[in-house]
Each structure stands twice: as C-alpha cells, then as structure tokens.
Amino acid sequence: MSKITILKLGGSVVTRKSETGTINTIRIQEFAAQIAPIAKSVPLIIVHGAGSCGHPEAKHYHIQEGVTKSNAKGIAITHFAVRKLNEEFVLHLRAEGVDAICMHLICTSIAKNGRLVYSGEEQIKALLALGIVPVLHGDVVMDTVRGACIISGDQIVPAMAKALSATRVGVATDVPGVLAKGRVVPVISRGNIGTINLGDSVNTDVTGGMRGKVEELLLLADAGIPSHIFHISRIMDFLQDRDHGGTIIQ
Amino acid sequence: MSKITILKLGGSVVTRKSETGTINTIRIQEFAAQIAPIAKSVPLIIVHGAGSCGHPEAKHYHIQEGVTKSNAKGIAITHFAVRKLNEEFVLHLRAEGVDAICMHLICTSIAKNGRLVYSGEEQIKALLALGIVPVLHGDVVMDTVRGACIISGDQIVPAMAKALSATRVGVATDVPGVLAKGRVVPVISRGNIGTINLGDSVNTDVTGGMRGKVEELLLLADAGIPSHIFHISRIMDFLQDRDHGGTIIQ
C-alpha cells in the first residue's frame, strides 16, 4: 500500500464546545468537500474528537475515574453521543463521494488502565487497501483494569500511526499550532519540550487538551514518526505537504 | 461472571424478507418488551440476522465472491443497511430500560477466507461484566484472503459461545425448529444428521438458511456446547429453560 496519512480534527473543530451535543455541521460539510479529492486518491484515516458530543456525558458519569456497575450506564450514553457525531461526519463525506465508514473504538478496541492495547489495526488496514476511508473518533473503550475508560482521538492517532507505519500525521485544531507566549512554537522535540509552557494554549478538557496532544505525539516521535499540529484552515497545506504555519513534533 | 446466554433472532424475524430494507418494527418492539426483565438480570448477548436489510446489498455487490477495488463500495453500502436495523433494535431495547449497545462486526472482527478469526470477545466480555447487553449482527467483515466477506449471525453465535463459554445458546426463527417431512426434528447430533433432509426447512439465502445454521451449531456441539432452534413465539420458554417445542443440537 502507498503511504498512509492520518488526519485528526479536534473536538472543538467539529462540535460547538460551549453547547452540549451541538455538531458543527457547516464545518464538517466544508471539510468533507475540501478533502474529498484527496480522500478518494490516497490511503487516509480520519480521526475526530468528541468535543461537546461525549465529553459532557463522560464527565457526568465519571468514566475516567473507572467504571463499575454503579456508573456503567454512562458507557452507552457517552458512546451514543459521539456516535451520532461520527455518523453525521461519515454521511457528509459519503455525500461528497468519499467511500467513508464509521469505526467505533468501543467495538474495535480494548484498553488496559487507560491505554489502548488493541485498536482493530487489521480491519483498518484492510479497509485502506480497498480505498475505503475509516473514520475513527474518541470513544469509551472497555478496559481490563478500570472497567472502561475514555480513549481520546489524541491517543488513537499515534497508536494507529505506529501500528500501520503511517508517514503523514496531522492534527487540525482551532488554534494555529502549539502556542507559547502567544506565538506558534515551530518545532517541539524531547530536546526543547522542557522549556515550553504548554499551559498557554487551550483549556484542559477530559482528554487533556494541548498538553495531552503533545505528550501523545512525542511518544510517536520517539517511534520515529513526526507529526504536525496546525489550524483547521491549513488542512490542505498539510495534505499537500506545504508549510502549514503550525508546529512539527519530531 | 454468571452463566452467559446467547440469543439469536433470524433476519426473517426482524425484517420483512420480501421487502428490501424493511425493518419489522412491531416484532422488535414486542421482543424488546418481552425480554427486558431477563436482559436486565442475566449476562445476555443478542445477535440478529440482516434479512432484507443487508442481504440484497451483499448479493448485488457480490461480496461473498470476494472483494477488490471494483466492488469495494458494496462494503459500506451493505454495512449501512444492516447498521440501521441494529441501531433501531438497540434503541427499542434501551426504550425498555435495557442497557443495550451496538456491536458491529465490521469494527470488531477480522476474517480469513470467510471464517471469523477474531470477534472482539474481550470487549464483549467486559460489557457483560458491567451488565450491558451487546447486540451483534450479521455484517460485512474484512477478510485477509478475500478482501471482505459476509459473516452471518449463524457464524457469530457459535464463535462467541465458544470464546465466552456460553451455557445457553438459542436461535429464534420463523419456523418451529428444524423441519424434516413437515415435522420438527427434536434432537440433531453428528449421529443422526446424515439421515435428515435439511432442504425441507426454509429458502436458502446468502448466509445459508437452515442448513447453514445447523452446520454452524454442530461445530458448537462438537465443542461441548448444545444449542436450541425454536419459533420466535417460544423465546421466553427458551430463556426460562422450559420446553420450547423446537430442536436441540447436541
């Protein structure tokens, strides 16, 4: 198979974060129309965050603190919230002629103490080989230690990138990149991470915000795969290998 | 975990087989209301067939003959047809207070030459342990040899029963059991299967009809787990361990 690209859209990009359960339909339609030509021609995995479709539910049921029978009903409720977003996302891509399909981590995956141990890589590889675009999302995942946990899109991206040896990994957000003192940090590595105050960038959410993203992507860089964080408006620059004005994690 | 029950409803029970894409909503509602008390109290996996929501699409795209890029678009189209049925099924169960969740084999599973090699058993076991009812269905599954294939509910049932050491396995159909010469065969085993003409029972569909069911369930009996085929109206008899007037495969 030719080189695999993984593109993640943050939850704040695809939902209205301040309004529970509100899908940013216009954004998703624009995105679908924009990337359709590329999505039809290269192996592409899309991952999206949950934003306001799932985070409020996960928080309400304290999923991240571990799940027992007392809060188990939060599993399906959280999943259904983000599932609706994922289906709408996939239907917009399909309306643009992209052969996209929903992939839910609650089905594909198993976690151990909050970390993915299996992510359905084989299914995803087989879909890519046939020109199909799997659309994954942050989700509840059953956990052999905690009962269940939340696996963010930020954790899925590097897990999938490593498992499938992806060559292009990009994270589109509502900020221009990783910010420190109001400016984009062009390159982050193990060498300079200690000098950067990640608290500047965005609010922390149940999945860790910008700090969580960078930590996950540094683990990916450790495995030899660089990645890119950039503004949603620069997706085509990323996909076409041009300067995107954001941050490279390497 | 206490004893696991697996209950399958045939595609002809949950859809109107003669009308493409027609869900038998009344049947599903009745079923959901009927089994709710038991589904809330014992570990239960529900599996349903695709019937007219998926079989016509699978046939149209020749999925069972192997999938390459030329017919790959049939994968998502077939999946979406049966996915809709599965979601409606789960929503009816949830409306009755059952904490049910959709489990799609296109996400959970991988096949080799038309046979399941992985079915997401760990996720399903973890869901059951928290009192959640996974609802599986016949689906397209990515296949390491054929590209993709159709995995019927009839194949899922024994695979899951073996993987989770289920103790009660039942298949509800629109006939009273396995029929030969117009009468129910009360017991089928390797010892008498050669003497029974399975052609009598039902029409053959893309997943093999009654012959397919019996063949799959004999493999399960080989592994020491008996199973039951009975009429949809006798589900409560099966669940409550009473005589169901159907066939026992042992």
Query: Mind listing the pLDDT tens digit for each residue in A155-176?
Result: 999 999 999 999 999 999 989 9
Q: Which of B68, B72, B131 has the CB atom closest to A72's CB atom?
A: B131
pLDDT value for B223: 95
Amino acid B245 reads G
Nearest to A105 by CA among A68, A65, A148, A66: A148
What mean pLDDT, rounded, does chain B reach? 93
- Which of chain A's residues have a Cβ under 8 Å away from the Cβ of B146? none
Query: Which chain B residue is nearest to residue A145, measuring alpha carbons?
Result: B126
pLDDT (mean) for A61-75: 97
Chain B: nearest CA to A246, how far in angstroms?
Answer: 33
Domain architecture of chain B: domains with CATH? 5-249 (3.40.1160.10)
pTM (whole model) above 0.90: yes
User: According to DSSP H, which parts of chain B are helical?
Assistant: 11-14, 25-39, 55-60, 73-95, 105-108, 121-129, 153-164, 209-222, 235-239
Using CA atoms, how far residue A228 sits from A9, A141, A176, A207, B71, in Å, is 12, 26, 11, 19, 34
Q: Which of A79, A143, A147 has the CB atom closest to B101's CB atom?
A: A79
pLDDT value for B200: 47
pLDDT value for B207: 56
- Which of chain A's residues have a Cβ under 8 Å away from the Cβ of B156? none
Percent residues over pLDDT 70 in chain B: 96
Chain A: nearest CA to B148, how far in angstroms?
Answer: 8
User: What secondary structure letter does DSSP report for B108?
Assistant: H
Amino acid A223 reads A
| Rounded distance between C-alpha atoms, residue A240 and residue A186, angstroms | 18
Query: Which chain A residue is nearest to residue B136, measuring alpha carbons?
Result: A107
Reduced to 3 states, what is the DSSP secondary structure of residue B140?
A: strand
pLDDT value for A204: 45
- Which of chain A's residues have a Cβ under 8 Å away from the Cβ of B101? 75-76, 79, 106
pLDDT (mean) for A219-241: 96
Reduced to 3 states, what is the DSSP secondary structure of residue B81?
A: helix
pLDDT value for B130: 98
pLDDT (mean) for B11-38: 92
Q: Which of A127, A131, A142 has the CB atom closest to B123's CB atom?
A: A142
pLDDT (mean) for B120-145: 97
Determine which of A70, A123, A144 to mutate to test the interface with B (most B C-beta atoms within 10 Å): A123
Tell me what ipTM this predicted complex has: 0.93
Q: CB within 8 A of A191, min separation 6: which ones?
A: none
| Rounded distance between C-alpha atoms, residue B241 and residue B9, angstroms | 17
Tell me the per-residue pLDDT of A106-137, one tens digit each, with 9 for 90 and over.
999 999 999 999 999 999 999 999 999 999 99
Q: Which of B122, B130, B142 has the CB atom closest to A127's CB atom?
A: B142
Q: Exposure of A214 by Cβ count < 10 A (0-12 exposed, 13-18 middle, 19+ buried)?
A: buried
Q: Which of A73, A94, A123 has the CB atom closest to B142's CB atom?
A: A123
Q: Exposure of B42 by Cβ count < 10 A (0-12 exposed, 13-18 middle, 19+ buried)?
A: middle
pLDDT value for A197: 79
Confidence of residue A3 (pLDDT cuts 50, 70, 90): very high
pLDDT (mean) for A20-32: 94
pLDDT value for A206: 52
Query: Which chain A residue is nearest to residue B144, measuring alpha carbons?
Result: A126
Instruction: Name every residue in A having a CB less than 8 A away from some CB of B.
Output: 67-69, 72-73, 75-76, 79, 83, 94, 99-104, 106-110, 118, 120, 122-123, 126-127, 129-132, 142-144, 147-148
pLDDT value for B27: 93
pLDDT value for B210: 84
DSSP conformation letters of chain A:
----EEEEE-HHHHB-TTSTT-B-HHHHHHHHHHHHHHHTTS-EEEEE--TTTTHHHHHHTTGGG---TTTTHHHHHHHHHHHHHHHHHHHHHHHTT--EEE--HHHH-EEETTEEEE--HHHHHHHHHTT-EEEEE-EEEEETTTEEEEE-HHHHHHHHHHHHT-SEEEEEESSSS-EETTEE-SEE-TTTGGG--GGGSS---TT-HHHHHHHHHHHHHHTT--EEEEEGGGHHHHHTT---SSEEE-
| Rounded distance between C-alpha atoms, residue B240 and residue A74, angstroms | 29
Q: Which of B67, B101, B107 has the CB atom closest to A123's CB atom?
A: B107
Q: How many beta-carbon pairs below 8 A join chains A and B?
A: 97
- Asked whether the beta carbons of residue A126 and residue B110 sit closer than 8 angstroms, the reply is yes
Q: Which helix (H) or strand (E) holds B72?
A: none
- Which of chain B's residues have a Cβ under 8 Å away from the Cβ of A147? 126, 129-130
- Extract the tokens encoding B72: 């790959």
Query: Which chain B residue is nearest to residue A83, measuring alpha carbons?
Result: B102
Chain B: nearest CA to A247, how far in angstroms?
Answer: 32
Tell me the per-residue pLDDT of A81-101, one tens digit each, with 9 for 90 and over.
999 999 999 999 999 999 999
* Residue B146 and residue B114 in contact, taking contact as beta carbons nearer than 8 Å: yes
- Asked whether the beta carbons of residue A99 and residue B147 sit closer than 8 angstroms, the reply is no
- Which of chain A's residues have a Cβ under 8 Å away from the Cβ of B142? 122-123, 126-127
pLDDT (mean) for B32-49: 96
Instruction: Work out the angle at residue A139's Cα, subtended by the Cα atoms of residues B89 and A94, and round it to the nearest 5 degrees.
Output: 70
- Asked whether the beta carbons of residue B75 and residue A132 sit closer than 8 angstroms, the reply is yes
| Rounded distance between C-alpha atoms, residue A162 and residue A167, angstroms | 10
Chain A: nearest CA to B172, how far in angstroms?
Answer: 25
Amino acid B49 reads G
Instruction: Name every residue in B having a CB less than 8 A away from some CB of A.
Output: 67-69, 72-73, 75-76, 79, 83, 94, 99-104, 106-110, 118, 120, 122-123, 126-127, 129-132, 142-144, 147-148
- Which of chain B's residues have a Cβ under 8 Å away from the Cβ of A129? 147
Using CA atoms, how far residue A168 sits from A133, B6, B88, in Å, is 15, 43, 38
